[in-house]
Amino acid sequence: MLISLVVPCFNEEDILERFHERVTDEMTRLGHAFQLVYVDDGSADRTLPILQELAAADPRARYVSFSRNFGKEAAMLAGLQHAEGDAVVIMDADLQHPPELVGRMLQEHAQGYDQVIARRTRKGDRVTRTLTARAYYWLINRLVDVELVDGVGDFRLLSRRAADAVLELTEYNRFSKGLFAWVGFPTTTFSYENAVREQGRSAWTFGKLLNYGLDGLLSFNNKPLRAALYLGMLLMSLAFVYAAWIVGVALVKGVDTPGYVTLLVVLTALAGVQMVMVGVVGEYVGRIYYEVKRRPHFLVKATNTRAHRPAQEPE
Ligand code: UDP
Ligand code: MG
């Protein structure tokens, strides 16, 4: 049985050699045949030359290097396309996904699970981030069709058939957490203690996280559109009630003209609501725009390997 390890790398020059050593040691200890598929996501530092050195010294190391930064989702996709293994493990290059857990994943996989997820605790995270995450997952699980769990990231093992299923999903906007959940198959989860990043720094800024959260919300269904519809209907009914009230008062007490403030508040509130709704619609239209262009998910600048499961030809 061959195990592929898919490793997206973006500016990881400080840690790559150490990562490679730790992982190869661990895999050798486990006694499984393995290959490493490193994906250089358009790094601006020495990541690519380091990968080339690693590959020259170790035939188990493959690399695919992008022409620019396409994002981790694209990097994972490229890794999956190039992975030949009977099982694929996706892990970060920054050693926040402890290589020692791969053995445990393989054990669970041997029990018949197609997806083995390592879920991190939020130890060492800032309180604000933990709380926003909790609120986000509470909300999103009410809004999307697939179940998303806090702490469940991309550190997971996929069986061959689960990996192939993920590769069948060719959408341009990739929200992997959701794609993996959507694919299904027998899945099991275990927790591990979060390790603080050893070197370099996380590329996640608040803005990126916010966009990522929105992607999760919008990638999986059209419930936000429906919410906009309901909100519109609710506001319309309120307006009717209020209109009837004003007319009633005018009939009983005669016409009376104050209400400038009410008018202003209602008008601005409605304008706001309308803009939000147009925004929601626009988000979906934008997504359709990206999908219909059918651009490739990434462009390769250098590689020492061939895609095992190449991207499907657009019709
Ligand atoms: N990564 C990537 N492309 C990007 C950003 C990150 O391939 O645009 C890789 C990065 O090299 C690392 C993994 O994705 O291996 C996770 O990134 P990071 O550690 O910055 O995220 P966090 O651990 O904070 O979720
Ligand atoms: Mg990290």
Looking at all shown ligands, the one closest to residue 71's CA atom is: 1
Q: Name the DSSP class of 200.
A: S
What pLDDT score does 35 carry?
93
For the chain, helix, strand, coil in percent to 5 are: 50, 15, 35
Task: Average the pLDDT over 201-229 and give the result.
Answer: 75
Name the closest ligand to CA 93. 1
Residue 150 above 80 pLDDT? no
pLDDT at 264: 78
240 lines ligand 1 (CB under 6 A): no
Residues 6 or more apart whose Cβ sits within 8 Å of residue 69: 10, 41, 42, 43
Q: What is the mean pLDDT of residues 4-19?
A: 92
Distance 12 CA to ligand 1 centre (A): 9
The answer to whether residue 185 scores a pLDDT higher than 60 is yes
Query: One-letter amino acid identity for 177?
Result: K
Beta strands in 185-251 (DSSP E): 187-192
How many angstroms separate the alpha carbon of residue 94 from the centre of ligand 1? 8
Residue 157: pLDDT band (50, 70, 90) is very high
203 lines ligand 1 (CB under 6 A): yes
Arithmetic mean of pLDDT, 280-294: 86
Does residue 162 carry a pLDDT above 90?
yes
CB 70 within 8 A of CB 41: yes
pLDDT digit string, tens, across residues 74-99: 999 999 999 999 999 999 998 888 89
ipTM of the shown complex: 0.93
CB 216 less than 6 A from any atom of ligand 1: no
Report the separation in Å between the CA atom of 235 and the middle of ligand 1, taken as the mean of its atom positions: 43
Residue 315 has pLDDT above 60, yes or no: no
Please tell me the predicted confidence (pLDDT) of residue 226.
79
pLDDT band at 50 (very low <50, low <70, confident <90, very high): very high
The tokens describing 45, both together, are 């530092």
- Protein residue whose Cα sits closest to atom 5 of ligand 1: 72
Average pLDDT score, the chain: 84
Mean pLDDT along residues 125-137: 79
For residue 239, pLDDT beyond 90: no
pLDDT band at 63 (very low <50, low <70, confident <90, very high): very high
Provide the residue type at 190 as one letter.
F
Minimum CA distance residue for ligand 1 atom 13: 92
Task: Using most ligand atoms within 8 A of CB, pick from 6, 9, 65, 197 the residue to mutate for ligand 1.
Answer: 9
Q: How far is the CA of 191 from the centre of ligand 2 (A)?
A: 17
Whether ligand 1 lies within 6 angstroms of the CB of 177 is answered as no
Spacing, Cα 71 to ligand 1 middle (Å) = 8
pLDDT band at 160 (very low <50, low <70, confident <90, very high): very high
Residue-level pLDDT at 124? 67
Q: Is 174 helix (H, G, I), strand (E, B) or coil?
A: coil
Residue 40 Cβ contacting ligand 1 at under 6 Å: no
- Assess whether the C-beta atom of 73 lies below 6 angstroms from ligand 1: no
Determine the distance from the C-alpha atom of residue 95 to the mean position of all C-alpha atoms in its chain, rounded to a whole number: 19
% of the chain exceeding 70 in pLDDT = 94
pLDDT at residue 211, rounded to an integer: 79
Q: Does the pLDDT value for residue 312 go beyond 70?
A: no
Order of all β-strands in the sheet with 152-159: 187-192, 115-120, 152-159, 87-90, 2-9, 33-40, 61-66, 300-303
Instruction: Give me the residue label for tokens 């916010």.
Output: 210
Query: Of 111, 114, 95, whose CA–CA distance to 18 is shortest?
Result: 95
Which ligand number lies closest to the CA of residue 154?
Answer: 1
Q: Which ligand approaches the C-alpha of residue 9 most closely?
A: 1
Least trusted range by pLDDT, from 118-132, 147-161, 286-300:
118-132
Query: How much is the pLDDT for 82?
Result: 92
